[in-house]
Amino acid sequence: MDLKGKDFLTLLDFTQEEILYLLDLAAELKAQKKAGIPHKLCQGKNIALIFEKTSTRTRCSFEVAAYDLGMGVTYLDPTASQIGKKESIADTARVLSSIYDGIEYRGFGQEIVEDLAKYSAVPVWNGLTNEYHPTQILADMLTIREQFGYLKGIEFVYIGDARYNMGNSLMIGCAKLGLNFTACCPENYKPNADLIKTCKEIAATTGATIRFETDPAAAVKNADVIYTDVWVSMGEPAEVWEKRIAELLPYQVNKELMAKTGKQTTVFMHCLPSFHDLKTKIGKEMGERFNLTALEVTDEVFESAQSIVFAEAENRMHTIKALMAATL
Ligand code: CP
Ligand code: NVA
């Protein structure tokens, strides 16, 4: 498998074999890390991390993975570079790719990371756009495979705002790898029709199924994985909270919903960060304003034995490391 020089912008650009290769490499590098075996596969290289939105997991994963691989890292925070304000994406790409061996980008529209890749001579990795979050999917799939031992045929339910980066990317990931994907949401929160059509075509070749359901109880019956994300994503205006809460509260993941799968083995997943209690500034503000103790998932589920969110978060680092090792 040769992925050297390849950009990582959306999983649509990768075959099932290529994605499985990245997962296998991540598992191998994870085992090496746990055993204290050095794996400086990219010694002497350097990468740039561009973040136009904030991050904990993605930034830390790219940095630690780069150090483990023997690389140097420059972090450009949402205010620290000229990008977009004084310098175009095309110029930035040509400057950075003459200095660095790889570039990570987190920001707004998918067209920005695509432009960056177009003008860059080195691999560009998408660290989240409004439309896609492909490195998250690698971690999620590794975590599911660790939990169940397989991916094909897993009953995967994504519940909540399915129009945004996580809903889109999980649907693609499930279609590519043969999981049965259900998006449970109101009609107006479904991914766009073109992407659904594309994913159904992919699913037809991998044995996956793609289904939409507005009723949470019907959606989660038989689920192996219940996955949710925040109801308001980075970059969206605060004014949308009221409508989101009104429309998505019936889709909150709580103990009653988890019990409706009919399986003891169902796990709960979330890309994080999560509003599962009122211990964050926004969580507290919304909780007090709308008289809630949690938003997209209750604290009880988040903290339960069924929740594998922290194993999932750890796998961000191992999978991002595999991605860089494979493409550099
Ligand atoms: N899941 C995820 O991308 O987290 P961060 O926003 O903290 O990077
Ligand atoms: N949908 C979320 C994902 C965060 C990892 C956001 O874009 O803010």
- Tell me which DSSP letter residue 191 carries: P
Does residue 271 line the site of ligand 1, with CB under 6 A? yes
Q: What is the pLDDT along the chain (328 residues), one digit of tens a residue?
A: 999 999 999 999 999 999 999 999 999 999 999 999 999 999 999 999 999 999 999 999 999 999 999 999 999 998 877 787 889 999 999 999 999 999 999 999 999 999 999 999 999 999 999 999 999 999 999 999 999 999 999 999 999 999 999 999 999 999 999 999 999 999 999 999 999 999 999 999 999 999 999 999 999 999 999 999 999 999 999 999 999 999 999 999 999 999 999 999 999 999 999 999 999 999 999 999 999 999 999 999 999 999 999 999 999 999 999 999 999 9
Does residue 58 line the site of ligand 1, with CB under 6 A? yes
- At residue 84, the pLDDT reads 78
- The H-or-E segment that residue 106 falls in is strand 102-106
With beta carbons less than 8 A apart as the criterion, state whether 277 and 283 touch: yes
Closest approach atom of ligand 1 to CA 59: 8
Among 164, 316, 317, 319, residue to substitute to test ligand 1 (most atoms within 8 Å of Cβ): 316
Ligand 2 centroid to 273 CA: how many Å?
Answer: 8
- At residue 138, the pLDDT reads 99
Closest C-alpha among 169, 185, 177 to residue 220: 185
Closest approach atom of ligand 2 to CA 161: 1
- Tell me which DSSP letter residue 33 carries: H
Which residue is closest in CA terms to ligand 2's atom 7?
Answer: 233
- The H-or-E segment that residue 225 falls in is strand 225-228
Does residue 233 line the site of ligand 2, with CB under 6 A? yes
Provide the CB-side half-sphere exposure for 226 (13 A, CA).
36
Residue with tokens 């075509």: 201
Catalytic annotation present for 271: yes
Q: Which of 68, 136, 276, 318 is catalytic?
A: 136
Which residue is closest in CA terms to ligand 1's atom 7?
Answer: 56
- At residue 78, the pLDDT reads 83
Residues contacting residue 160 through CB under 8 Å, at least 6 positions apart: 167, 184, 185, 189, 228, 229, 231, 248, 251, 296
Ligand 1 centroid to 280 CA: how many Å?
Answer: 15
- At residue 81, the pLDDT reads 76
Q: Helices 57-68 and 309-327: crossing angle, nearest 10°?
A: 50
Ligand 1 centroid to 272 CA: how many Å?
Answer: 6
- At residue 43, the pLDDT reads 98
